[in-house]
Amino acid sequence: MKRLVPIALAAAVLLSPACHMFSSKKNPAAPKESKTVATDTEKDFMRRWLDKRTGELVAQGGTPAAAHAQAVAEFKATYTYMKLAKQAQ
């Protein structure tokens, strides 16, 4: 009798709807995973970095076109490990 109570309680806990140990349902509130998260993050970083560096170079007296070209060259030289650095224009 003393062993039956803990076993019954353990079975009730494991089989209750609140236990997700054996549940195959996914959490609907969880954010959707994107396959392009890394690429999107790199694009956003590159855009922000180029905008910031171009602004700095224009503030130093350069033309916007020349500043952008220099910023792109600096980005390519600094972030060679990024896929987008090879594709930057």
Nearest to 79 by CA among 34, 35, 55, 48: 48
Nearest to 53 by CA among 75, 79, 36: 75
pLDDT value at residue 24: 60
Average pLDDT of the chain is 80
Are 76 and 88 in contact by the 8 Å Cβ rule? The answer is yes
For residue 72, pLDDT beyond 70: yes
pLDDT value at residue 38: 83
pLDDT value at residue 88: 65
Q: Angle of helix 64-78 relative to helix 37-59, nearest 10 degrees? A: 130
What are the extents of the domains in the chain? 36-89
Expressed in percent and rounded to 5, the helix, strand and coil fractions of the chain are: 60, 0, 40
What are the counts of helices (DSSP H) followed by strands (DSSP E) for the chain?
Answer: 4, 0
For residue 17, pLDDT beyond 70: no
31-48 pLDDT, tens digit each:
666 778 888 888 999 999
